[in-house]
Amino acid sequence: MCRREHASDTPGPAVSRPTLLPGLRRLWRDRHTVQLGTDPRRAVVLEFADPALARVLDLLDGTRTDRAILREAAALGIPEPAAAALLHTLQDSGLAVDARTLLPPGLPEPVRRRLATEVAALALRGEGTPAEALRRRAAAHVMISGYGRLAVPIASALAEAGVGHVVPAVSGRTRDDDAALGGLLPADAGRPRATAAAEAVTRVAPAANVRPLRDGAASFVVQAGAHRPAGLTALAYARRKVPHLAVDVRDGIAVVGPLVPPAGSPCLNCVDLHRRDRDPAWPALAAQLSTGPESIAPCAVTTLLVATGYAADEVLRYLDGGTPQTIGTTIEIAGPGRERRRSWAPHPECGCGRRSAGRPLSGR
């Protein structure tokens, strides 16, 4: 926990319309001390010689310029140097930011209200600005292709986090065991999956676009399940330079990754070839897995929830311009807190390796 005193009366760089980071609890420790936030890793303690100075915090709502705040503080009897020093402290510590950095302009008011908690979380993350992250998400066209209980919850999570165009490209009819938190409902059984999935997305994000995408229009694809051979899938994405993330469920284990960037290495085919090297029978097994009839994939509800969150977070990290953890990596999730990480190198027999300079460790 960081403790701040206000000895300096030199204001820092002006923030156009300062606001406190949204969601930070304001707590009085005693009549001279205010704590902002509750997590010891980020909470800040402000010590005031004059408790009246805390009234400046009420003025930081994003509607006033810094000069207007100083004028209103003076009207409350607070000396300008003291108010300016407090503004400097809050800006310097990242607790006061320009309100315009929180949300991109032009968002409808219902969307702004719905994204309030996401904005607060992004602001606390401290990587870029929430407005920039949400702008990138709103412009993204994400397709969730395949089948399985992970597909629709991931689509819903992405839309709820502000992704503007989310298409659950799922086929067939919904089964009783497809129902999942954040996904399909028990009442959807027997309905076309694509229709029920689109409704699941718009339940949590009514403004989300769920219309089918034109060929090649996806800016990211989540590949749920292995409904065709890995080599063909990898080649199709490589030709279009579409970044994609593989997710699957195997015998109760949810597998997230690898995420394959546009450079395309290591790709899904690399993973498949590494498996062939370790097990000569793998090609025959993979062919059966990708062409056989749909079957029930055992997966505990808690495992499904963890995998949904992990996969959605990886996609969002990529869209936000960050570095996902699953590039060249698969995360095998057996349940909350039970994960196995495997790293993969570009396979020498796969051409994707020649298009990428980065080479993570081989699978282990």
- The CATH class of the 2-100 domain is alpha beta
Sequence spans of domains, the chain = 2-100, 102-130, 140-355
What's the predicted TM-score (pTM) here?
Answer: 0.88
Q: What is the pLDDT of residue 220?
A: 96
Q: How confident is the model over 191-223, as pLDDT tens digits?
A: 999 999 999 999 999 999 999 988 778 999 999
Specify whether the CB–CB gap between 208 and 164 falls below 8 A.
yes
Assigned CATH topology for domain 140-355: Rossmann fold (3.40.50)
What are the strands of the beta sheet with 141-146, ordered from one edge? 165-170, 141-146, 220-224, 244-250, 253-260, 329-335, 338-343
Confidence bin at 238 (pLDDT 50/70/90)? confident
Confidence bin at 9 (pLDDT 50/70/90)? very low
Task: Determine which helix (DSSP H) or strand (DSSP E) holds 340, and give its type and residue range.
Answer: strand 338-343
Statement: residue 146 has pLDDT above 70: yes
What does the pLDDT average to over 158-172? Answer: 95
DSSP string, 48-109: -SSGGGGGHHHH-BSSS-HHHHHHHHHHTT--HHHHHHHHHHHHHTTSEEEGGGTS-TT--H
Q: How confident is the model over 274-300, as pLDDT tens digits?
A: 999 999 998 888 888 877 666 678 899
- Three-state secondary structure call for residue 47: strand
Mark out the alpha helices in the chain (DSSP H runs). 56-59, 66-75, 80-92, 109-114, 116-125, 130-139, 151-160, 193-204, 230-240, 268-278, 282-291, 301-319
Q: What is the pLDDT of residue 214?
A: 83
Q: What is the pLDDT of residue 143?
A: 95
Could you tell me what percent of the chain has a pLDDT over 70?
90
Among 133-137, 296-300, 326-330, the range scoring the smallest mean pLDDT is 296-300
Short-list 43, 67, 70, 37, CA closest to 56: 70
- CA–CA separation, 138 and 131 (whole Å): 10
Statement: residue 7 has pLDDT above 80: no
Statement: residue 11 has pLDDT above 50: no
Q: What is the pLDDT of residue 360?
A: 40
Asked if 2-100 and 140-355 have one fold, the answer is no
What does the pLDDT average to over 304-326? Answer: 97
Short-list 140, 141, 127, 204, CA closest to 169: 141
Statement: residue 141 has pLDDT above 90: yes
Q: What is the pLDDT of residue 189?
A: 95
What does the pLDDT average to over 223-236? Answer: 75
Task: Determine which helix (DSSP H) or strand (DSSP E) holds 255, and give its type and residue range.
Answer: strand 253-260
What does the pLDDT average to over 107-130? Answer: 91
